Amino acid sequence: MTDISILMPAPMPEPVIAALDARFTLHRLWEQPDADAFLAAHGTAIRGLAANTLAGPVGAALFDRLPALEIVANFGVGYDNIDAGAAAARGIVVTNTPGVLDAEVADLAIGLLLATIRRLPQADRYVRDGRWEDAPFPLSPTLRGRTVGILGLGAIGQQIARRLEGFDVAVAYHQRTRRDDVAYPYHDTPVALAQACDVLIAIVPGGAATRHLVDAEVLAALGPDGILVNVARGSVVDQPALIAALRDRTILAAGLDVYADEPHVPPELRAMENVVLLPHLGSASEHTRAAMGQLVVDNLLSWFGRGTALTPVPETA
C-alpha cells in the first residue's frame, strides 16, 4: 500500500505517524513550508486524510483540493471538525473512534463531578498554601440526595449513568429520542431535565444541532444549588451565559473539561473559585489515546485493503 498517499494536516501521536508511514506514503502537511503550494502540487494524489481537531475545519474547501480523496479517518469520537455532509455528497467516507474511549471519558466525568462538588482542587490549594494550619477547610456541598441529569445518553452517557448507580443517586436523561432499553426517567427538553435535577452532565456531540443547548434558560432551571459538568464540546454550552450564571450564583458551580475556543479559557472563568477547569482531558490517557490512534490506522488499512471502513459515521455509512 505504500503507493497510496495519505495526508495528515496536523500532528498525531508518534505511533500513529509511524504506523501510517510504514504502510502508506504519508504527507505531513504541518512540515510543509507552504501548505497551499503543496496541495496545489500534490492534492490530486491524496486518497486518504488522517485528521484531528488540531487540523482545523475539514470541509468542502479542502475536499475540492483533494479530488481523489476517499476517506477521512478522524482521531476522536467527536467529528464536528469535519463537514460530514460535504464528504457524503462527494462519496467520501468519514470514520471516528467510538467505543475505545467511552470508559475513559466516563471516568473523567465522574472525577470532575466529585472534584467540583467536594471542591477538591480548592482543598488541595488550601493545604499547599499553608492555610490548614490556621483553620479547617470550609465544608463542601455533597452528592448525597441529588438527582443527576445526563444530557445525551449515548454510549458514554450510559457508562456515566452506570457509574452513578454506584453512588446511590437518582439519574434522569434527555436526548432527541427516548431510549427503550433503559429505565431512567426521560425528559423531553433540556429545560425539563434541568428542572428535574440539580446536577447536569453534558455529553452530547458537538455541531450545529447542539450549539448552546445549555443556555441561560437551562442554567436558570438548574437552580442555585445546581452544578454543571461539561465533558461534551465547548459549543454545547453558551459560555457567556454560563459565566453570568456562575457570577450571579444562578447556579452553584461548574466543572469544565471543554471550552468555546480551546485552548483559550476566559479570564472570568479562571478567576472563579466555584469552577473546576481541566484542559480537555476526557480521553487523554496513554492507554486510550493509543487505542484511538490504532483505530485511525485500522480504518485506513481496512478501507484500502478491503474497501470497507470499520467505524464510519452515520452520515457517510
In this predicted model, what pLDDT tens digit does every residue of 106-129 receive, in sequence order? 999 999 999 999 999 999 999 999
Distance CA 297, CA 22 (A): 11
Cα–Cα distance between 232 and 153 in angstroms, integer?
12
Query: Computed over its alpha carbons, how large is the radius of gyration of the chain?
Result: 22
Largest CA distance in the chain: 69
Each residue's pLDDT tens digit, 262-301: 999 999 999 999 999 999 999 999 999 999 999 999 999 9
Q: How confident is the model at residue 55 (pLDDT cuts 50, 70, 90)?
A: confident
pLDDT band at 164 (very low <50, low <70, confident <90, very high): very high
Fold of 5-99+287-316: Rossmann fold (3.40.50)
- The C-alpha atoms of residue 63 and residue 222 are separated, in whole angstroms, by 42
Q: What is the dihedral of CA 283, 286, 290, 292, to 10 degrees?
A: 0
Q: Which residues are catalytic?
A: 233, 262, 280
Element containing residue 151 per DSSP (H, E): strand 147-151
Task: Average the pLDDT over 18-35 and give the result.
Answer: 96
Give the closest residue to 221 by CA, choosing from 247, 240, 185, 197. 197
Q: Are 151 and 173 in contact (CB under 8 A)?
A: yes
Domains 5-99+287-316 and 102-277 equal at CATH topology level:
yes
Give the torsion sign (CA, 245, 247, 250, 256).
Answer: positive
What pLDDT score does 237 carry?
A: 98
**Residue 170 to residue 174: CA distance in whole angstroms:** 14
Match 459565566 to its residue by C-alpha cell.
Answer: 243
pLDDT digits (tens, 9 = 90+) for 183-200: 999 999 999 999 999 999
CA distance 1 to 14: 20
End-to-end CA distance of the chain: 23
Cβ atoms of residues 37 and 60 within 8 Å? no
d(CA 51, CA 16): 11
1 pLDDT more than 70: no
Q: CA distances (Å), 58 to each of 63, 94, 155, 233, in order?
A: 8, 11, 25, 17
Residue 87: name the closest of 315, 298, 308, 297 by CA: 315
Q: Specify the CATH number of the domain 102-277.
A: 3.40.50.720
Nearest to 295 by CA among 6, 3, 1, 20: 20
* Amino acid (one-letter) located at 195: Q
Q: List pLDDT tens digits, range 230-255.
A: 999 999 999 999 999 999 999 999 99
Average pLDDT of the chain to the nearest whole number: 97
What angle, rounded to 10 degrees, do the helices at 102-117 and 120-128 form?
60
User: What is the residue extent of each domain of the chain?
Assistant: 5-99+287-316, 102-277
| C-alpha cell of residue 239 | 459560555
126 phi, psi to nearest 5 deg: -60, -45
245 and 226 Cβ atoms separated by less than 8 Å: no
- Asked if 100 and 292 touch (Cβ cutoff 8 Å), the reply is yes
CA–CA separation, 261 vs 137, rounded Å? 34
Amino acid at residue number 222: L
pLDDT at res. 177: 94
Cα–Cα distance for residue pair 275/122, rounded to 1 Å: 9
